[in-house]
Structure 1
Amino acid sequence: MNASRFRRGLFLTTLLGLVYLVHDYATTSWIDPTMPLSGTVSIDGKPMTKGLVRFISMDPDLPKAYGSYVKDGRYEVPAEFGITPARYQVEFSSIGAEDLQRMLDSKGALTEVQEEIPARFNRNTEVEIDLSAGNVLHADFDLR
């Protein structure tokens, strides 16, 4: 009877230890904390009518990118597609959802799409944002 109690206690202790380890691992390692982000984009003080904003991680251990369409000067990355806290380069493009759809519909035919954002805000962006603290939920950009 004493050995049976010992085995039962050992089993429960082992089970509780495994549950704790699984919980600890799940909450700290493989689930990246994410947050929503929204804000405005303007060019020389005027709202960007349409386009894209992309957040590209500057952390080599976190090679992630996030993005959102810009419409009437506003963008939003919702919580379910949230951004992981890190430092990011921010790229802007005047090519909007309609332009992308037109390119897809052309099925390989040459479609002219004009990028109106200067390279220093686009492929050669100089814009960076530090979201590593995890508490920034709103960020406005005025491209000048």
Structure 2
Amino acid sequence: MLYFRSFSLFLIILLAGGCSDSSGKLIVKGAVTFKGSKLSNGNIQFFPLEAGKGESAGTLIKDGTYEIPSVHGLIPGKYKVVISCAEEVKNPPINFKGSSPPTEEKLPPQFSSFEKSLQIVEVTSQGKNFFEFMIP
């Protein structure tokens, strides 16, 4: 009986330890506005500034908000942010033969281009990691 209790306690401790997130990834969320209104849809990506430190992560923007859950989240550090919102070209070229209509980026390159983005945030283990972007 003592063996059974000891073994049961061992299993409980082992399984409970497996439930915690030891990756250190954190929830990241926030809001995005474009010309004073909520960005109705788009995507947001975070790229680590230091090579080899962390992974990039991203998610969709819906009704001006986004959230990356901890399972896909970011570790503490500085990240370059790229926000994109493509819309269909209203008058595609007559000879266009793609399977879906062509799109064009509607946000300025200092937000939507990896090479030109000026948006830098710092994810910390302290605080909410809520980042708001107001795109003119």
Aligned to 1:142: 134
Q: For 1:134 and 1:56, locate their aligned partners in 2 and report how far apart those are by CA, in whole Å.
A: 20
Unpaired runs of 5+ residues, structure 2, are: 1-21, 88-97
Give 1:62's match in structure 2, choosing from 46, 53, 58.
Answer: 53
Aligned to 2:71: 80
Q: CA RMSD in A?
A: 2.4
Give the drift of 1:110.
6.1
Contact map agreement 2:26 2:125 (CA 8 A) in 1: no
The letter for the 1-side match of 2:129 is L
Unpaired runs of 5+ residues, structure 1, are: 1-30, 97-107
TM-score of the superposition, structure 1-length normalised? 0.64
Q: For 1:62 and 1:53, locate their aligned partners in 2 and report how far apart those are by CA, in whole Å.
A: 19
Give the drift of 1:79.
1.9
TM-score of the superposition, structure 2-length normalised? 0.67
Are 1:126 and 2:90 an aligned pair? no
- Residues 25-70 of structure 1 show CA distances to partners (whole Å, capped at 9, x for unaligned) of xxxxxx5411101111001221101000110110112252110100
More helix by share: 1
Percent identity over the alignment is: 21
Give 2:86's match in structure 1, choosing from 91, 95, 114.
Answer: 95
More strand by share: 2
